[in-house]
Structure 1
Amino acid sequence: MADETERFVRAAITAEMRLLDPDVRASPALDSELLDPKFTEIGASGRHWDAASILTVTSTGSVVPESPVVVSEMAGVVLTPGVVHLTYFADNSGRRAWRSSLWHLTETGWRMYFHQGTLAS
């Protein structure tokens, strides 16, 4: 069971890091592979997002590949088989936030179901 738990956490972390990759973030097609159709987010700005609004933003070219997100303190816990909660600290060109994501395993792979960011001082 411990091996499965570690495997699930590693898979969710890999998916999270892929979603944070500027090339993936700038591609609606690649984003849609990682976001659940029922995805919701409460952004660090306080704005509420869903999968469609995220894909609209990524299609506008507003993600700048030259400003990668720097991640630290990544940790994960399996809530139930196939559901992982990740937490981490992210710095995006000086915009610092604590992040929390829920990932679940689907027939097509790991998908982010929920995400929240809280600005850090």
Structure 2
Amino acid sequence: MSDLAEHLQSLEQRLFEPGVRASVTALESLLSPEFREIGASGRLYGYRDIVAGLLAEPPDGTTRTLTDFELLLLASDLALVTYRAMRTVPAGPPVSSLRSSIWRHDADGQWRMVFHQGTLTG
């Protein structure tokens, strides 16, 4: 896997970590202020919606794993990644999804997510 693919996969995995999801500073370093997400419900969320939602998540023992990661470089500073995710909660069945994100290499030298969509797969 290329260095960029490994780097972006590590950033995606950071967003699965409870400590990152509970930190405004960590979220600001990973999500662009222009961030948009289309949720599994089909609803469009903006940056403030997502940050508020992540900060409000209770620590419930949920774990998330990522597999089948692929990278498509759209431009030198823009990348599309796709992967499968599995969310496991202690008191329920696992939930699988197919996910896609667009990452942009910003002027400050950091890659930040500008778009994300997850589709439940069963």
TM-score by length of 2: 0.85
Q: Of Structure 1 and Structure 2, which has the larger fraction of its residues in helix?
A: 1
Q: CA RMSD in A?
A: 1.7
- CA-CA distance at 1:10 after TM superposition: 2.3
The answer for the alignment partner of 1:102 in structure 2 is: 102
Q: Percent identity?
A: 32
In structure 2, which of residues 28, 31, 36 is the aligned counterpart of residue 32 of structure 1?
Answer: 28
Which stretches in structure 2 are left out of the alignment for 5+ residues? 89-93
The 4+ residue runs of structure 1 with deviation greater than 6 A are none
**Ranges in structure 1 where 5+ consecutive residues have no aligned partner:** none
User: Is the counterpart of residue 73 in structure 1 residue 68 in structure 2?
Assistant: yes
Count of aligned pairs: 116
Question: Secondary structure at the residue paired with 1:20?
Answer: coil
1:18-97 equivalences under 5 Å are: 18-60=14-56, 62-64=57-59, 66-93=61-88, 94-97=94-97
Q: Per-residue CA shift, 1:53-82, capped at 9, x if unaligned?
A: 11111222x153621211111111211112
